[in-house]
Amino acid sequence: MELYALTIHELHDRLKAGEVTAGALARAVFDRIRAVEPEVHAYITLLEEPALAQADRADRAIRDGDLRALTGIPIALKDIFCTRGFRTTCGSRILENFIPPYDATVVERLAAAGAVFTGKTNMDEFAMGSSTETSYFGLTRNPWDLDRIPGGSSGGSAAAVAADACIAALGSDTGGSIRQPAALCGVVGLKPTYGRVSRYGLVAFASSLDQIGPFTKDVEDAAILMNVIAGYDPRESTSVPEDVPDYRAFLGRGIDGWTVGIPKEYFVAGLDPEVETAVRDAIGVIEGLGARCVEVSLPHTEHCLAVYYIVAPAEASSNLARYDGVRYGYRSPDGRDLMEMFKKSRSAGFGAEVKRRIMLGTYALSSGYYDAYYKKASQVRALIKNDFDAAFRTCDALVTPTTPTPAFRIGEKTDDPLQMYLSDILTISTNLAGIPGISVPCGYTAAGLPVGVQFQTAHFAEGKLFQIAAAYEKHANFTKRRPKL
């Protein structure tokens, strides 16, 4: 098997045994990128020269006996994380040439663990989208079918992992932006508990929803990355000082005697029959592993989409007010006065979907409407969280589909924003409640498109999440399959 097709833990063992060098691994990955990138377009910015320098340093460290968790492992970063000295665009014209003066905390932690950074991956502009079609730098294609979308907003990261154009990647998840593209690209994607991973250096979309997590080729690799990036950060106000266990210790424990909830609201009209079949088969595997699967109800699920599309745009309109053409980012050369410069810079710098959400959010926060929209949505959000709290009082985990359909065709939903928003209908509740969720491959459609199953657990119970996901993965064995590019 080619080096670029291996997992973090497989490569770590080979590096430790001296069977391969970090330099050879990095060169193999960049050869793979050159082979598939013209078709997939997973990256906005490639960092080959700095990556090869990092790989050389990794080889010196290995010779000196300093082999860390990610030493020499090529990892891609969604282009929403600040990287000192290298541009961070968020897929937007307004940040096309922005070079941050500091690294995000997750970037610092990956670097300290020895990672080699392959580049910054493509994404929906400011993470606002479900298909990676809103990027100013062009769309990303699904490696399983180049006529289909990879999901979004972290579609570039998911596609890069699926296409073996990196060994693993980081993304951000505001309403499903890790789990949804992971499902559509046939890889593992994890959204941790809100506050588990520092958001310092993450360019904000919706600050009460955003969370950072890994894309990997199997569940063990996700545990390895979470061991590195999780933990308290005093620089980030929502970071929680909660002890972080060794997540790899939960792998292989089994789930015999568990109670697993199946929310009835997630199996409704509109769910693709092939998706439902694959997920029902996954539930059968879970039962075969000794868990008792019971139907549960999350009664406020029907309000999730409405709540999300009030809360997220409202917070986005506030966060994106900083892009005014003055402090950094794109500035229109045509403004005759300050106000005109503001308007023209923002009009030219933002794409249509970002403008749509800014307008929706500004309206929801406006005088006379705040109580009717944002305040009311926040109250219903509390009820959604209460639903999950009640479910986890009797269940160890929940199992649902990750997406309502397999990957759809490029351009299929770009003219219908509501249909696009419905792509995240099964993932947004996890963000609203702040709980962790993971998507694991659970099958394929007749057309060969991947399907994902989603596991959810209570706040800061990522250990249980890894326990059930790894148990399922081992017996279902779908994570080894790769697209033929």
Q: What is the pLDDT of residue 418?
A: 83
The H helix count followed by the E strand count for the chain is 15, 11
pTM for the predicted model, two decimal places: 0.97
Give the contacts of 81 (CB within 8 A, at least 6 positions apart). Answer: 88, 104, 106, 107, 120, 170, 172, 201, 202, 203, 212
CB 341 within 8 A of CB 386: no
pLDDT, tens only, 411-420: 999 988 889 9
Of residues 481 and 153, the one with the higher pLDDT is 153
Do residues 402 and 428 touch, judged by C-beta distance below 8 A? no
Burial status of residue 384 (CB atoms within 10 A of its CB: 0-12, 13-18, 19 or more): buried
Reported as a single tens digit per residue, the pLDDT across 204-246 is 999 999 999 999 999 999 999 999 999 999 999 999 999 999 9
- Ordered by where they begin, the domains of the chain are 3-252 (3.90.1300.10)
303, 404, 477, 478 from 453: Cα distances, Å: 22, 11, 13, 11
| Number of Cβ within a 10 Å radius of residue 38 | 8
8 A C-beta contact, residue 132 and residue 157: no
Q: One of 78, 191, 344, 464 is an active-site residue; which one?
A: 78
Question: Average pLDDT, stretch 43-71?
Answer: 98
Rounded to whole angstroms, how far apart are CA atoms 120 and 136?
14
439 Cβ contact list (under 8 Å, min separation 6)? 178, 179, 180, 182, 183, 188, 189, 190, 402, 452, 453, 454
Question: What pLDDT, on the 0 to 100 scale, is given for residue 276?
Answer: 98
Q: Indicate the residue type of 463.
A: G
pLDDT digits (tens, 9 = 90+) for 270-329: 899 999 999 999 999 999 999 999 999 999 999 999 999 999 999 999 999 999 988 888
What does DSSP say about strands 168-173 and 292-296: parallel, antiparallel, or unpaired? unpaired
* CB of 59 closer than 8 Å to CB of 23: yes
Average pLDDT rounded to a whole number, residues 466-485:
93
Give the dihedral sign, CA 238/239/245/248.
positive
- 153 carries an active-site annotation: yes
What's the pLDDT at 162? 98
What is d(CA 125, CA 94) in angstroms, rounded to the nearest whole number?
Answer: 10
With a cut of 90, say whether residue 479 has pLDDT above it. Answer: no
* Catalytically annotated residue among 92, 153, 157, 198: 153
Three-state DSSP class for residue 223: helix
- Calpha distance 121→78 (Å, rounded): 5
Q: Is 130 an annotated catalytic residue?
A: no
Tell me if 198 sits within 8 A of 238, measured CB to CB: no
Instruction: Read off the pLDDT band of 354 (50, 70, 90).
Output: very high
For residue 439, what are its two tokens? 């998507």
Share of the chain above pLDDT 90, in %: 93
Backbone angles phi, psi at 87, to 5 degrees: -65, 145
% residues pLDDT > 70 (the chain) = 100
User: What is the pLDDT, as a whole number, of residue 53?
Assistant: 98
Q: Where are the alpha helices (DSSP H) in 189-272?
A: 219-229
- Cα 156 to Cα 124: distance, rounded to the nearest angstrom: 9
261 forms beta bridges with: 294, 398
The conformation of residue 241, written as its DSSP 8-state character, comes to -
Which of these is catalytic: 177, 345, 423, 439? 177
* Residue 78 is a catalytic residue: yes
pLDDT at residue 108, as a whole number: 98
| Beta strands 116-121; 168-173: pairing state | unpaired
Helix (H, G, I), strand (E, B) or coil at 105: helix
**Mean pLDDT across the chain:** 97
Where does residue 485 rank: exposed (0-12), middle (13-18), buried (19+ CB within 10 A)?
middle
pLDDT at position 147 over 90: yes
User: And the tokens for 371?
Assistant: 């109580």
d(CA 170, CA 344): 33
Strand 188-191 and strand 259-263: the pairing is: unpaired
Backbone torsion region of residue 65, taken as left when φ is above 0, otherwise alpha when ψ lies between -120 and 50, otherwise beta: left
- Is residue 411 a contact partner of residue 426, using CB atoms and an 8 Å limit? no
Could you list the beta-strand ranges (E) of 54-107.
Answer: 74-78
